[in-house]
């Protein structure tokens, strides 16, 4: 008898779970200094314009553009120098027609001026300035509010904060913001053969890699991992731990041992956690066919395969989007990827989406993607990989030199 009657394609399988998740984001106020990689829970609006005053973009002379019209090296315009704009203060001089003031990059443009002549196109001449090139109105000037207008939405809800967002908010004087609370993700491992990493495994035993790699993935996605330990393949202790995790966390993730009985045990526990229960049991993807997606008491529950490569790839495909949904991020956000040409022919089995680790190599034509062929449970196949290539389910493989999109593993 086959292990699964039907395999759900990964896209519809994920959507079936996402459609049932709550859309309301829990928010908390955080300091700007602590906001890196956090996700905005509400739009951020500029309290004032940026810049707050017109500024010069170059070192030079603030002028009325009309005073420079027709100026050239052979027939320069002569302007009277009446002062200098101090940095960090408002201009003290107000040039009249035929006058100019020295200004530095970032300095405030005097009210009467509308352009700046670069220093390179001028020459001093006994209290005068020779202008060797005409400028147009607004040249070498940033207008007040040109970067951001007062009241403008500068960040939408659901935006992950990067260093540039932090710099922009600091420039606006925003020192705190509403961020989505980090979803708590409970991680349970089971398997009679699994031991802690600090223990010396006996023959037939393996160290627990999945709990640690999944916790790291959860953190990278913006969640807060909560470790519940490693359990033997026994129904009662796993169920009691899962029940506690479901109460304490926003998401529960199982990573089971490699045996069929361990996978069946995970399914039993998930079915006992609450309605509606299992939504998908078996996904048309390799690696990771025995994946379980469920919703129990309004919270997502995911059963991952036991082998570490499958667990990480499936967590990337299903757990990460769930965390991002709970953070309020849009579904169609940009994934870091690079175009590369496949180094060799890549065979695949039609009917299942195939995710293959690849190494990226630079050559004269760009990047080549070199598949890493290994047994499915060898974790260092992912350690050696720069990214993943997806072979679509309707293909029996990809050809050498074919242009492929490599999803980067960062």
Give the model's pLDDT for residue 6. Answer: 73
CA separation for the pair 122, 77 (Å, rounded): 10
Burial status of residue 185 (CB atoms within 10 A of its CB: 0-12, 13-18, 19 or more):
buried
pLDDT tens figures, 7-43: 899 999 999 999 999 778 999 999 999 999 999 999 9
Which among 346, 379, 344, 343 is positioned nearest to 361, based on CA atoms?
A: 343
Q: Is the pTM of this model over 0.85?
A: yes
Domains for the chain: give ranges and CATH numbers.
10-25+182-326 (3.40.980.10), 27-50+157-180 (3.90.105.10), 55-142 (2.170.190.11), 337-408 (2.40.340.10)
pLDDT tens figures, 262-283: 567 888 999 999 999 999 999 9
User: What's the chain's average pLDDT?
Assistant: 92
CA separation for the pair 292, 14 (Å, rounded): 11
Give the model's pLDDT for residue 2. Answer: 43
Where does residue 167 fall: left (phi above 0), alpha (psi -120 to 50 degrees), or beta otherwise?
alpha
């Amino acid at each position: 008898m086959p292990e699964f009657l039907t395999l759900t394609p990964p896209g519809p399988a994920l959507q079936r779970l996402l459609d049932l998740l709550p859309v309301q984001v829990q928010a908390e106020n955080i300091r700007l200094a602590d906001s890196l990689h956090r996700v905005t829970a509400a739009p951020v609006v500029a309290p004032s314009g940026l810049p707050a005053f017109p500024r010069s973009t170059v070192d030079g002379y603030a002028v009325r553009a009309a005073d420079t019209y027709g100026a050239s090296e052979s027939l320069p315009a002569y302007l009277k120098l009446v002062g200098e704009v101090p940095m960090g203060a408002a201009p003290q001089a107000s040039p009249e027609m035929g006058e100019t003031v020295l200004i530095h990059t970032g300095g405030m443009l005097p009210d009467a001026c509308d352009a700046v002549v670069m220093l390179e196109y001028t020459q001093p001449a006994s209290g005068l300035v020779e202008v060797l090139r005409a400028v147009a109105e607004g040249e070498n000037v940033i207008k007040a509010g040109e970067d951001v207008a007062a009241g403008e939405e500068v960040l939408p809800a659901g935006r992950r904060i990067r260093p540039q967002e932090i710099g922009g908010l600091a420039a606006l004087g925003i020192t705190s913001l509403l961020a989505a609370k980090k979803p708590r993700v409970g991680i349970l491992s089971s398997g009679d053969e699994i031991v802690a990493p600090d223990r010396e495994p006996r023959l037939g035993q393996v160290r627990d890699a999945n709990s640690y790699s999944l916790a790291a993935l959860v953190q990278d996605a913006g969640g807060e991992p909560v470790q519940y330990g490693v359990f033997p393949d026994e129904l009662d202790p796993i169920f009691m731990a899962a029940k506690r995790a479901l109460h304490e966390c926003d998401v529960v993730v199982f990573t089971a041992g490699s045996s069929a009985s361990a996978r069946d045990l995970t399914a039993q526990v998930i079915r006992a956690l609450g309605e509606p229960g299992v939504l998908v049991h078996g996904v048309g993807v390799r690696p990771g066919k025995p994946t379980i997606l469920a919703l129990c008491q309004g919270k997502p529950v995911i059963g991952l395969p036991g082998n570490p490569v499958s667990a990480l790839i499936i967590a990337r495909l299903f757990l990460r989007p769930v965390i991002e949904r709970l953070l309020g991020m849009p579904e169609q956000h940009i994934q870091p990827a690079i175009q590369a040409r496949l180094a060799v022919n890549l065979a695949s089995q039609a009917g299942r989406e195939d995710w293959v680790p690849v190494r990226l190599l630079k050559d004269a034509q760009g990047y080549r993607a070199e598949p890493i062929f290994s047994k499915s449970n060898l974790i260092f196949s992912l350690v050696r990989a720069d990214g993943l290539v997806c072979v679509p389910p309707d293909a029996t493989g990809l050809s050498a030199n074919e242009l492929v999109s490599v999803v980067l593993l960062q």
